[in-house]
Amino acid sequence: MASTIKDVAKEAGVSIATVSMVINNKADHITMKTKKKVFDAIAKLDYKPNLTARSLVSAKSFTVGLLVPDITNPFFAELAKAFEKELSKEGYMTLLCSSFEESEREKQYLSELISRGVDGVVICSLTSMETQILDALKQAKIPYLILDNRYSLEQFSVHVDDYKGGVLAASELLANGHRTTAFIGSKTPYVNIANRLQGFQNEIERAGGAVLTFKTDLTRSGGETISEELFSSEATAVFCSNDLIAVGLYDAANKRSLALPDELSVIGFDDISFSDIVKPRLTTIKQPVQLLAEKAVQHLLLMKKDPDYHFYKELIPVSLVKRESVTKPAHV
């Protein structure tokens, strides 16, 4: 069997990217010692890069961009960890791009990734409604997919079943006897958040209940900001569009000595690693982060390999994680 670039890399004790750079004369920064190792391995294994393979190889930067809103949201930290781990198995490195939900930053980062000729981009943050930047990615023939918030914009998307998540949250609250409920969404109109609300609202209203809706930032301080309005409403239970908002409500409840869950039941979304250390331990809808990352990487690499590869969307299931933050309403 003919030897491959992988065999050469293994024999030389270097990465595939290094071998690629050496055989494509892009090895300015590589030491002579390393180059010699690669040439020795090529000679020993009688490796013959064919022209097609070479052109494929040389078109690779072995780099993928990951655009996230905020790496300090544990959900995105966990996603980035899993994503980087999956990619590194294939010899790719991850460029971390945090947008802080600023459209300008997102656009700048995406332009920058295009000019660097990255091998792919996973977009977990897209505040802007303008799709020119996606067109620019297409034009540059850079595979990309949308993960999470704006998946309606694209056929290439990997995301969880947000609608089902809303239904599960509603069922849990209904089973505990809640009828007047609240939903905390985001100020920026995201599709995933809208679907969580839709599932929640349909299920609550089907049972004759009501949903009061609130909007805030998708952060811990966003939860704290909206708390006053929420606490003075009629709602006996609240479904938060992410766990960080729920933590912000806990902060506010602590300051006002509002007893959770007795005076207000709370359900989150994400199941970040800290959701089981807050008191009361947070009941939430779990997103399987590892699976999301694996699927994103799989599709991206297939898209890179075959420009005609196409998928509509990859829908990942969610589940309810029952802990201690939901109980019966005080006045029932």
Binding site for a copy of itself (CB under 8 A): 14-15, 17-18, 21, 27-31, 34, 63, 66, 70-72, 74, 77-78, 80-81, 84-85, 93-98, 108, 111-112, 114-117, 136, 139-140, 220, 247, 250-251, 273-274, 277-279
User: Cβ of residue 220: shortest distance to a copy of itself, in angstroms?
Assistant: 7
The one-letter amino acid at 171: S
Q: Under a CB-based contact definition with an 8 Å cutoff, are residues 240 and 252 in contact?
A: no
Q: Identify the bridge partners of residue 332 per DSSP, sorted by sequence position.
A: none
- Give 174 or 218: the residue with its C-beta nearer to a copy of itself: 218
- Give 108 or 225: the residue with its C-beta nearer to a copy of itself: 108
- Give 126 or 278: the residue with its C-beta nearer to a copy of itself: 278
Q: Which two tokens stand for residue 53?
A: 């393979």
User: Cβ of residue 15: shortest distance to a copy of itself, in angstroms?
Assistant: 5
Q: Under a CB-based contact definition with an 8 Å cutoff, are residues 41 and 12 in contact?
A: yes
Coil/strand/helix, residue 268: strand
DSSP category for residue 262: T
User: Cβ of residue 175: shortest distance to a copy of itself, in angstroms?
Assistant: 25
- Give 67 or 174: the residue with its C-beta nearer to a copy of itself: 67
CA nearest to 287, candidates 244, 313, 324, 316: 316
- Give 78 or 162: the residue with its C-beta nearer to a copy of itself: 78
Q: Identify the bridge partners of residue 209 per DSSP, sorted by sequence position.
A: none
Whole-angstrom Cα Rg for the chain: 24
User: Cβ of residue 222: shortest distance to a copy of itself, in angstroms?
Assistant: 14
User: Cβ of residue 107: shortest distance to a copy of itself, in angstroms?
Assistant: 10
Q: Under a CB-based contact definition with an 8 Å cutoff, are residues 2 and 22 in contact?
A: no
